[in-house]
Chain A
Amino acid sequence: GENVGLHLPTLSVQEGDNSIINCAYSNSASDYFIWYKQESGKGPQFIIDIRSNMDKRQGQRVTVLLNKTVKHLSLQIAATQPGDSAVYFCAENTGGFKTIFGAGTRLFVKA
């Protein structure tokens, strides 16, 4: 449905710690999931994606986990840095045409 994700929760982490941002999606037919990062005053920026035939995908310092059984997506950021402070959105895509964004999670990184 239209309510992917949580309603802008905030996560505060210490620099150097790992961050985990969670997202719940509602459409079991969704087959493509994307994480975006939005810094203040900028447009969302692609971080990592995963297709529904996978349950884990790794990038540089980021890992996305997909649990289709409970319709849950998570983004793990290793060794969080001040530059990681932003709003993070999960998004789902069904059938290739329409991407639905979650409400976002604000990540604060404390130095």
Chain B
Amino acid sequence: DTAVSQTPKYLVTQMGNDKSIKCEQNLGHDTMYWYKQDSKKFLKIMFSYNNKELIINETVPNRFSPKSPDKAHLNLHINSLELGDSAVYFCASSQGTGFYEQYFGPGTRLTVT
């Protein structure tokens, strides 16, 4: 059984388009995250939700909007895509905030042309 799943795995789109990435976890975790990994492998947190409430919102353009319909899902919608948005986006979950490791999804490679 896949613990944290993301769809799609690959996403190729043109500048200016709007796209969404979906994430689901079946671990019963309370906390979910979105990370962006650039071409140099640097992993940076974008958002975190705890029990469907936004608790971390890093300096991310407001073109990025997360949505958590329930504790098991955290989706990421991106408006007006730009070349610089090209990266691998990872969803993760943890049992809670604090001293808990995070479980990562397989990633979504977004390429903006």
Contacts and interface: CB of A to CB of B under 8 A. Distances in A.
Interface in A1-59: 2, 7-8, 32, 34, 36, 38, 41-46, 49, 51
A108 interface: no
Contact of B99 (A38, A41, A51, A104): A51
Contacts of A96: 97-99
A102 to B, nearest CB: 9
Contacts of B90: 43-44
Nearest to A49: B101
A103 interface: yes
Interface size range on A against B? 20 to 34
Contacts of A42: 106-107
Interface size range on B against A? 20 to 34
A104 B41 contact: yes
Contact of A8 (B41, B101, B102, B104): B41
Interface of A: 2, 7-8, 32, 34, 36, 38, 41-46, 49, 51, 87, 89, 93, 96-101, 103-104
22 contacts: A7-B40, A8-B40, A8-B41, A32-B98, A36-B104, A43-B92, A44-B102, A44-B104, A45-B104, A46-B101, A46-B102, A49-B99, A51-B99, A93-B99, A97-B48, A98-B45, A98-B56, A101-B42, A101-B45, A103-B40, A104-B41, A104-B42
Interface of B: 4, 35, 40-45, 48, 55-56, 90, 92, 97-99, 101-107
